[in-house]
Chains A and B, each alone.
Chain A
Amino acid sequence: MAITEPAATTTETSTLLDFRDVQLTYPNGTVALSGVDLTVERGEFVTVVGPSGCGKSTLLRIASGLEQASQGVASVATDRVGYVFQDATLLPWRDVQSNVELLAELQWQTKAERRAKAKQAIDLVGLTGFEQHLPRQLSGGMRMRTSLARSLTLDPELFLFDEPFGALDEITREYLNDELLKLFAAQRFGGLFITHSVSEAVYLSTRVIVMSGRPGRIVESFDVPFPMPRDPEIRYTAEYAALVGEVSHALREGHGA
């Protein structure tokens, strides 16, 4: 019954990720996810918020194939899937350049191809000039950007983010949010972004999904009406604050349930 397949359902709507009634039960009987219906279209940036331990990250693990759904159908309509982990997960013995080249290297691309892709990705995240730096010589924000660049070399159609900026300070986080939005505007991938910051969720996405505590279920979904090259100033508007309030409210209710 459990299927994670690169489905051949690339129709005009270009649904990149399609979860239908996905459930995940661990061998010890813990139900991590239950009855999750979720789609991500191309050009959509979907953010998932929920209390810790609600199975948010599990969604990504199923989407990427790291884990299999125990029930329901989880299909992903592309094999170009980028995955940005909670930690930068850089290899400490490789400099920025060869860390960014890693994924292309694992796909046996030629050196010239790898170089070109890495250069482009490094430019895109603004790390030009730091190619020869080792991860230990970089700040947390720069490490995260290296990790982002590494995923960009895959030219992903579906981009999965597992609380990538959770460990960063507020200023770096806001800065990287803006950078990510620019990448999104330029590349038009489908994004699925996990976070526990409601404000970050509203700011980044076209749709915010609220999950309940374990077992994780989707309790509510909000469309974010703000236009898409997003003005950082909207964070200080009343509409923005109202939406953040609504999402927070749903989050609290789902948590209590």
Chain B
Amino acid sequence: MSNDTEQAPAEAQAPAAELAAEVPTTEVVEHELSPDTAAPVPLRRRRSRGYATWGPPLAVAALIIGLWYFVGAVILDPSKSYLLPPPHDVIATYFDPNLGPEMFEALWNSAVVALTGLAIAIVLGVVWAIAMNQAKWIERSLYPYAVILQTIPILALVPLIGFWFGFDFTARVIVAVLIALFPMVSNTLFGLQSVDAGQRELFTLQRANRWTVLKKLQFPAALPAIFAGMRISAGLAVVGAIVGDFFFQRGTPGIGALISKYQARLNADPLFASIILASLFGVVVFWFFGWLGKRVVGKWYDFA
């Protein structure tokens, strides 16, 4: 401690060296505690949890398939077995040269509709939320319509959409957008408004303009919420694309059109196969945006 007084003159001349030199003594403890543990934690957690993550859902899947076989073979009257074809028959249809290509092509068409709709919903939703975040009066003017978008029965709009935009691709995309838009608007708005008051004042003190605040503070702060919104919207866009298929069957309809065709023909194997395909696609899209979110903000935010 007496060192301090002795070194005082030197310290005034070279405070930088002095302070830096003193760091290790006190800081070593902190280093060992924080940076070393903080960085590798996600990795370690992921590795050890691999089994625990995949185990339970796989067990449930096995249980469902078992139940499926059981109901089909034991409970269901043989004359009604078409109501629940055994899983292996369903899976076989993917390799059937008459059914497989048809289903995968339809899935591709649906994917194009869903992803186009999703892209439009993301852009529109983020812009809408940013506009609302600019002033309270804009938020008050526009938010009710975002809510209406969410509460309006989409099926009630279907005839109108067909009437205005025809019965093909455009109409299907519009259905996907309408269904997927609200979570993007509400999540982005929530994210933009979640900025810490102190951080906001930091920018105010430097007289940062609106655009700078948006670009360097609000938008990055909103990214986790935006990605959470994307994940929800992605699933909904797939739903929208399939719903659209049921009503707008011109052009190159997707998996929804196939589902309604197989249903009309009581063609159980491909019916089940295409339902599963559509569901799997939804899961993949949901998972993809979760992965993307983790990639982009996972470094600084615990993206669930």
A86 to B79 Cα, complex, angstroms: 75
Q: Interface extent on B, as a size class? A: 35 or more
Contact of A66 among B18, B20, B23, B204 (CB under 8 A): B204
B16-57 to A contact mask, C-beta < 8 Å, 1/0: 101110110011001001110011000000000000000000
B156-180 contacts to A, CB under 8 A, are none
Q: Is A241 an interface residue (CB 8 A)?
A: no
Are A93 and B300 closer than 8 Å at their CB atoms? Answer: yes
Are B4 and A231 closer than 8 Å at their CB atoms? Answer: yes
B213-257 contacts to A, CB under 8 A, are 216-217, 220-221, 223
Chain A residues with CB below 8 A from B30, complex form: 139, 141-142
A256 to B281 Cα, complex, angstroms: 69
Q: Is A167 an interface residue (CB 8 A)?
A: no
Q: Is B267 an interface residue (CB 8 A)?
A: no
Chain B residues with CB below 8 A from A83, complex form: 202, 205
- Once A229-B5, A229-B8 are accepted as A-B contacts, the answer to whether A93 and B18 lie under 8 Å apart by CB is no
Are A126 and B27 closer than 8 Å at their CB atoms? Answer: yes
For the complex of A and B, list the 3 residue pairs with the smallest distance between their C-beta atoms, beginning with the closest: A186-B15, A126-B23, A106-B206
Q: Interface extent on A, as a size class? A: 35 or more
- Once A126-B20, A136-B38, A185-B12 are accepted as A-B contacts, the answer to whether A106 and B301 lie under 8 Å apart by CB is no
Q: Is B208 an interface residue (CB 8 A)?
A: yes
Contact of A134 among B22, B205, B299 (CB under 8 A): B299
Some 19 contacts from A to B, beta carbons below 8 A apart, are A87-B198, A91-B221, A93-B299, A102-B216, A105-B216, A107-B206, A124-B16, A124-B19, A126-B22, A134-B299, A137-B38, A137-B39, A139-B33, A142-B30, A179-B19, A229-B5, A229-B12, A231-B4, A232-B4
Are B35 and A133 closer than 8 Å at their CB atoms? Answer: yes
Least CB distance from B203 to A in Å reads: 7
Q: Is B96 an interface residue (CB 8 A)?
A: no
Are B15 and A124 closer than 8 Å at their CB atoms? Answer: yes
Closest chain B residue, CB of each to CB of A135: B300
Q: Is B297 an interface residue (CB 8 A)?
A: yes
A147 to B216 Cα, complex, angstroms: 17
Q: Is B212 an interface residue (CB 8 A)?
A: yes
Most-contacted residue by chain A among B15, B38, B299 (CB, 10 A): B15
Least CB distance from B104 to A in Å reads: 40
Chain A residues with CB below 8 A from B1, complex form: 231-233
Closest chain A residue, CB of each to CB of B20: A126
A135 to B196 Cα, complex, angstroms: 15
Q: Is B11 an interface residue (CB 8 A)?
A: yes
Closest chain B residue, CB of each to CB of A106: B206
A residues whose Cβ falls under 8 Å from a Cβ of B: 64-66, 81, 83, 85-87, 89, 91-93, 102-103, 105-107, 120, 123-126, 128, 130, 133-139, 141-142, 175, 179, 182-183, 185-186, 229, 231-233
Chain A residues with CB below 8 A from B18, complex form: 182
Are B300 and A231 closer than 8 Å at their CB atoms? Answer: no
Contact of A106 among B34, B203, B221 (CB under 8 A): B203
Given contacts A136-B300, A229-B8, 15 further A-B contacts (CB under 8 A): A87-B198, A91-B220, A92-B300, A102-B216, A103-B206, A105-B216, A106-B203, A106-B208, A124-B16, A128-B23, A139-B33, A142-B27, A185-B11, A186-B15, A232-B4
Chain B residues with CB below 8 A from A66, complex form: 201, 204-205
Closest chain B residue, CB of each to CB of A87: B198
Chain A residues with CB below 8 A from B223, complex form: 93
A83 to B5 Cα, complex, angstroms: 29
Least CB distance from A165 to B in Å reads: 14
A175 to B1 Cα, complex, angstroms: 12
Chain A residues with CB below 8 A from B301, complex form: 92-93
Chain B residues with CB below 8 A from A232, complex form: 1, 4
Chain A residues with CB below 8 A from B26, complex form: 175
Least CB distance from B148 to A in Å reads: 34
Q: Is B199 an interface residue (CB 8 A)?
A: yes
A142 to B33 Cα, complex, angstroms: 12
Chain A residues with CB below 8 A from B199, complex form: 89, 91
Chain B residues with CB below 8 A from A93, complex form: 220-221, 223, 297, 299-301
A105 to B1 Cα, complex, angstroms: 39
Least CB distance from B215 to A in Å reads: 11
A212 to B205 Cα, complex, angstroms: 28
Least CB distance from B48 to A in Å reads: 21
